[in-house]
Amino acid sequence: MTRQELFQNIIQKKSFLCVGLDPDIKKIPKFLLDFEDPIFEFNKRIIDATKDFCVSYKPNTAFYEALGEKGWESLRKTLEYIPKNIFTIADAKRGDIGNTSQLYAKAFFENLNADSLTIAPYMGEDSVKPFMYPGKFVIVLGLTSNPGAADFEMLYLQDGTQLFEKVLQKTCEWGTADNLMFVVGATRPQMLEKVRAIAPEHFLLIPGVGAQGGSLADVFKYGATSQAGLLINASRSIIYASTGNDFAEKAGEEAMKLQGEMEVLLRSKKLI
């Protein structure tokens, strides 16, 4: 999917919502355990209930790897099930070099056919560039929403920039807004000004709205571009909106609520 197509989907759905598909076998409703692949059954129902309100799905690979080869199969089936006009993010936070990166790229972009993959930048250029694939996006960790972001990401370098800014600057030399996005946490919306000074056009994947305390309005204020430029991720607040048999219905309601808030913001900026 191209950046332009992603923007068109945002316009059409009046939403820049990304739903995190992080199904924990211990948390999903008990009746699903009778199915051959409970994780896939859970995802299928969540997707059916939310697909009209979101433009992206983001499975975090940890939830699938924890179940071994069976989990990997659930991940593959989930990615196959997602409608083709919805942008898929394999949230794998991978990072390796040379041949090895190419194998990860093959695993996620070819075999699983994900539109994008999250990448940890610590190892530098030769751990990021091999993931720049025709028609795919690399989503590099920039400034994350967790407390540990203060340990390294926010450190000041000798030239006065913070490490996450240097990561953005360097990475922007290796790719363009057409094959590169960044993860920036919603818990620090003012930091989005710093991000936009370096990456004015790139889409940003923003976790941490809601559960982790970030405000959607603030994120939009500091981060939105003329193409929206934002994918706001919500996981638990949607997929576990109810832990009962009505989980899919409630997930749909939560997604619709967020879509409604996003529609107001998009109108306020005259994007729709």
| Chain residues in the site for a second copy (CB under 8 A) | 22, 24, 60, 62-63, 65-70, 72-73, 76, 93-101, 103-104, 106-107, 111-112, 120-128, 141, 144, 146-153, 155-158, 163, 166-167, 170
Partners of 90 in beta bridges: 117
Partners of 138 in beta bridges: 117, 180
Opening angle at CA 6, ends 98 and 265, nearest 5:
125
Closest CA relative to residue 120, chosen from 87, 97, 150: 97
Separation CA 36–CA 122 (nearest Å):
39
Q: Which is nearer to a second copy, 67 or 256 (CB)?
A: 67
Q: Rounded to the nearest whole angstrom, what is the least distance from the CB of residue 140 to a second copy in the complex?
A: 10
Q: Rounded to the nearest whole angstrom, what is the least distance from the CB of residue 213 to a second copy in the complex?
A: 14
- For the record, the structure tokens of 30 come out as 């008990």
Q: Which is nearer to a second copy, 141 or 265 (CB)?
A: 141
Q: Which is nearer to a second copy, 169 or 268 (CB)?
A: 169
Q: Rounded to the nearest whole angstrom, what is the least distance from the CB of residue 150 to a second copy in the complex?
A: 7
Give 34's contacts (C-beta < 8 A, 6+ positions apart).
none
Active-site positions read: 93
Separation CA 45–CA 50 (nearest Å):
9
Q: Which is nearer to a second copy, 208 or 223 (CB)?
A: 208
The Cβ of residue 117 has, within 10 Å, a number of other Cβ atoms equal to 26
Q: Rounded to the nearest whole angstrom, what is the least distance from the CB of residue 156 to a second copy in the complex?
A: 5
Separation CA 22–CA 4 (nearest Å):
27
Contact 234, 193 (CB under 8 A): no
Q: Which is nearer to a second copy, 24 or 246 (CB)?
A: 24
The residue with tokens 């306020």 is: 268
Separation CA 141–CA 171 (nearest Å):
10
Q: Rounded to the nearest whole angstrom, what is the least distance from the CB of residue 183 to a second copy in the complex?
A: 10
Separation CA 220–CA 2 (nearest Å):
22
